[in-house]
Structure 1
Amino acid sequence: MPNYAESHRDLDSYISARVPVIGMRTIEQQRALRLVREVATHPRRSSMPFWIYTRATGLRDLRTNAPLQEDRSLTGAMEYAASQFTARPNATLVLVDPDDLEGDTPLTRHIAEVARLAGNNSGSIILLTDTPVWSGLQRLGMSLQLDLPDADEMYGVLAGFLTDHQGIIPIAWSEDDARRAAETLLGVTEAEAVNLMATVAAKGSVDKDDVPALAQSKDRIFSDLTGLVKVQLKDADYTVGGLSNLRDWLRRKNQLMQADLRHTEIRPPRGVLLVGVPGCGKSLSAKAIAAEWKLPLYRLDMGAIHGKYLGESEGRFREALETADRVAPCVLWIDEIEKGLAGRDDGTGVPQRIIGQFLFWLQESRSRAFVVATANDVRSLPPELLRKGRFDELFFVDLPDAQDRKEIIQLYYRRYVKAEPDPDQLARLVDLSEGFAGSDIEGALHDVGAEVYLGGGAEALRPSFVMDTFANTIPLSRNNPEQIEEIRAWGRERAVAAGRTAGATTQGAPGPARRIVFMED
């Protein structure tokens, strides 16, 4: 993508070549105007007239800002330029954000006629706009796009801001901190970056903790996000029981997410694909990653992506991925990805094109958007999605083993009962929960918590009630043992274990449902 220096070079060459129409597309009007002024004020162009038109100020001299006429209308500015282009060589008119440039309209045809007059006498018209320009007008010249600041330019913006405030407020940032902040602020405009830094400085200091906090502050800039749904995290989303291998792997990836990789060939972590048994913590892991890494969490809603018109689904999906690049660093959660990418035999070809877009983005994007994709029906996943190099790793989330179940029981016991389980009782609950998914354990202890609330506190809770609740919980591994065993057999052979062990036989998982009542001691 063209950065400021490249756009400066291109604009300089277009003006030197006296191209009749120069279309500059950007959403940063002030930054683009600064670029034009830098090119216009070069000493070798001191004798060349430059005029600028805006709706607010009318037609003025670009260098001195002196008004050229009382008529502030665009029509008046065009008439003035037309008369000057025929009389003076090497003149340049800058039109800032004129309306109706996209189609064949009277305005675009008028601009084209004036551009032809300019071209006959080595004149130019520069169009600063955030919309496409009608092809009939654009074919008269050249175009360039001024993209958002890259990491180096953003670092220069931050360094200038910190220099301006040096000695006024305490600043604890090192150069590495400023570099990390610049990476964090990729995707925002220069003005937005200055506003965010001003908000940080307004509290009276610039601290080390402000670097990761910028990701949350940046998140507030974006409201209406195409295809993305902002997920508000709760305290309960900060902790995941079990999945020790996955958690250790994620800690290492977090170091890369925060590292300065500019002078290496290493790209930021791309993401992880979690497949496995339903209810074992795949979706919760996405929330826990965002909470632990202190990054905003967005859910890519595949249902909202699909449209009924030709090309609509692909366009929405492309916009969603572009938005994810812009809001990065973030965690991008795609829940049950197999449903959004299913339909390989669909005659429309839409699923295949969406898969192609997604794979290309996974391969080529260098933004710090970390994807957490989850899948239950692994048989529906396209094979090319599982190839090494798409995601950083493919993890299989199995039913928790005894040690993981102990950790999960302790986690939810504290949350719902507001107490620590008795060691003997904990050991019996671990045995009773053989074959349970994490959601089964949570459901059982939620019922226990409700009984504590209704019964007057944890002190009045009967131990036998807890045992009874666990014994009478029928997990999915017993309700649908064939499907669960098929999922587990796939994961044992094709993925890395997310927990300490993988593929251990679930003793007692298959079999008839049973009801056990523990009599009170």
Structure 2
Amino acid sequence: MPNGAETRSLVESYLLARIPFVTARTVERGRFLEILGELAVARTFDVKVHTLSQGVRDVRTRQVLSDDKSLLGALDLAGEMFQSRSNVTIVFTDVQNIGDDNEVSRRFADLATLAEEHGGCIVVITSEPVWKPLQRLGMSITLDLPDVDEMRHEVVTFLRHYEGAIPIEWGPAEFDQAASILSGITKIEALNILSTFVAKKSIAKADLVALTKAKDSIFSELAGLERVVLNPDENRVGGLDGLRQWLDRKRPLLTADLRSRGMRAPRGVLLIGVPGCGKSLSAKAIASDWQLPLYRLDLGSVFGAYVGQSENRLREALATADSVSPCVLWIDEIEKGLAGAGSDSTGVTTRLVGQFLYWLQESRARVFVVATANDVRTLPQELLRSGRFDDMFFLDLPEPDERRQIIGIYLRKYLSVPVPEELVAELVDRSEGFAGSDLHAAVTEIGYEAIRVGDENVPFDFYLRAFDNVVPLLRSAPERVEEIRQLRDRAIPASGRTRAQEKAGNTRRVVLG
């Protein structure tokens, strides 16, 4: 995709060639006008710009040429200029309804013909489609959002003005990371964010975390994704040593510059396993530990009643995820949204699968996907092949040492008094076959009783009864647990143990806290 320098080169060539009609596709009107202004000065191009607020003015002299600020008035003035002089370029910035056959589109077509006869050039800045017969009279150019290199240049240039005036702790590595974080937004949005940091009269290395949060706030109201508010104290995970070590290796690569090696940033992970063993909690913990915004994509809500609606909704949601990157995208129970491809009569699911797979494979945005599933057998096999997710991990019921860790996390969270070690050991023994969610439910009941009678007044028998009253999935639906465990060989044990070690035990190691 063209960056600013490439766009500038194309614009210059089109103006030199006197292309009669040029469509500039961009959401950054100001940035494109900056490019035109630089060219007007450097190459002495005669460029006029029309805006509804100022009318028609000369780019170099800034002189206003007409009191009529309307679009139709500007079109009339452009026609007069083309007939009276040559090599004039007129730029229109506020054009509506140019995507179909109407009076405005036909007026532009007539003006483009006149421009061709007199060596004139019309430039229309828009983010909307243009009527095809009109577009075929000229050329089209796209100014994308600043790429990483251009964003780094803008960040360095902006902060250079404040060197010596405020302390700036950023070095080359921090500038690289800042550029990576700010990619996906406009130049003016990036500079506005940096201005808020300058206003506090210092630029610290720790501000990189705040930079991510500031960028995230720009997209907080966008449709298509649900923003998940994170509380680090509520997203602690016990166990999962293998998964956590794997994530520790991936984290620095998410914002590293990998272009010289022709590699993309880590794409994500698929978590499968027994319900209640921390798959969803792990998604929250990853975003919390990595200090990145977390967005949840509910594939079930993507489906619409009208033809093409589902595909458009998914496309918009994924485009939003690309825009807010770097971020973590959480897709919970992915099998419920993508299962059944090829079997539905409308073909909607199949098209959604294809669209999602293409994005997963081709998008270069720094979006780390955490997808969870209880049963991957219903998922399209092409989703599971290498190159989609970086790896797939299996989460099983926690082993005794993990249950001790998880119970300890919740006891410290919900009680204000220490619990004797021998009591904790008894709770670990009584929780054989518990999932992480079962442990949470049992300790929560103890916490409620502590609120009612006081922490010091909860009898030890109540602790034991709270655990005895829980009926874990392993007891209520043992066949379901065993069915899910048949998938162990398809994934890496999240516990960090080898597959042989996993098979050797009666219960499996894993999860939450």
Normalising to structure 1: TM-score of the pair?
A: 0.94
Mapped to 2, the partners of 1:205 and 1:272 lie a distance apart of 37
Q: Give how far 1:500 is off.
A: 4.1
The corresponding residue for 1:512 is none
In structure 2, distance between residues paired with 1:327 and 1:237: 24
Give the match for residue 299 of structure 1.
296
Q: Residue in 1 aligned with 2:133?
A: 136
Q: Give 5+ residue unaligned stretches, structure 1.
A: 509-521
Tell me which of 158, 168, 172 is aligned to 2:155: 158
Partner of 2:368: 370
| Aligned residue identity for 1:268 | A
2:197 corresponds to which letter in structure 1? V
Deviations along 1:269-301, one digit per CA (max 9) or x if unpaired, are 100000000000000001111111000000012
Amino acid at match of 2:87: N
1:367-420 CA distances to partner (integer Å, 9 max, x unpaired)?
111000000122211111111221111000001111111111111111122333
- 2:40 is matched with 40
2:279 matched residue in structure 1: 282
Q: Which residue of 1 aligns with 2:222?
A: 225
Q: Deviations over 1:415-437 (max 9, x none)?
A: 12233332111111111111100
Deviations, residues 315-342 of structure 1 (Å, cap 9, x unaligned): 1111111111110010000000001101
Instruction: Please tell me the residue identity of whatever aligns with 2:371.
Output: A
CA contact (8 A) 1:237 1:284 kept: no
1:499 counterpart = 2:495: yes
Q: Does 1:112 align with 2:100?
A: no
Q: What is the distance in 1 between the residues matched to 2:247 and 2:87?
A: 59
Gapped runs of 5+ residues in structure 2? 509-513
Match of 2:397 in 1: 399
Partners of 2:433 and 2:474 within 8 A in 1: yes
The residue aligned with 2:511 is: none
1:208 and 2:205 correspond: yes
Identify the residue that residue 346 of structure 2 maps to in structure 1. Answer: 348
Q: Whole-Å Cα distance in 2 between the matches of residues 314 and 260 of structure 1?
A: 32
What amino acid is aligned across from residue 373 of structure 1 in structure 2? A
- State the alpha-carbon separation in 2 of the partners of residues 478 and 390 from structure 1: 36
Shift of 1:507: 6.5
Counterpart contact for 2:287–2:293, Cα < 8 Å:
yes
Aligned AA (1:355): V
8 Å Cα contact 1:21-1:138 kept in structure 2:
yes
Question: Which of the residues 395, 409, 412 maps onto 2:410?
Answer: 412
- Aligned equivalents of 2:77, 2:366: Cα separation in 1: 49
CA distance in 1, matches of 2:427, 2:4: 62
- Cross-structure match for 1:247: 244
Moved more, 219-228 or 145-154: 219-228
The residue identity in structure 1 corresponding to 2:169 is: A
Q: Distance in 1 between matches of 2:262 and 2:428?
A: 47
Q: What secondary structure does 1:70 align onto?
A: coil
Q: CA deviation at 1:41?
A: 2.5
Q: Does 1:484 align with 2:481?
A: yes
Question: Which sits farther off after the overlay, 365-374 or 412-421?
Answer: 412-421
TM-score, L = length of structure 2: 0.95
CA distance in 2, matches of 1:255, 1:180: 10
Once residues 406 and 17 of structure 2 are traced to their aligned partners in structure 1, the CA distance between those partners, rounded to angstroms, is 70
Residues in 2 aligned to 1:263 and 1:180: alpha-carbon distance in whole angstroms: 16
- Secondary structure in 1 aligned to 2:92? strand
Distance 1:276 1:155 in 2: 42
The range that moved more, 414-423 or 194-203, is: 414-423
Pairwise CA distance, 1:306? 1.0
Moved more, 27-36 or 78-87: 78-87
Instruction: Please state if 1:358 is matched with 2:356.
Output: yes
- Equivalent residue, structure 2, for 1:518: none
Distance 1:471 1:336, change over 3 A: same
Number of the residue aligned with 1:517? none
The answer for the alignment partner of 2:325 in structure 1 is: 328
- When the two chains are superposed, the root-mean-square deviation of aligned CA atoms in Å is 1.5
- Residue 176 of structure 1: how far off its partner (Å): 1.1
Q: Are 2:2 and 1:5 equivalent residues in the alignment?
A: no
CA distance in 2, matches of 1:84, 1:233: 59
- Relative to structure 1, the CA distance from residue 456 to residue 291 in structure 2 (aligned partners, 3 Å threshold; closer, same or farther) is same
Instruction: Determine the structure 2 residue equivalent to 1:427.
Output: 425
Partners of 1:413 and 1:37 in 2: how far apart? Answer: 65
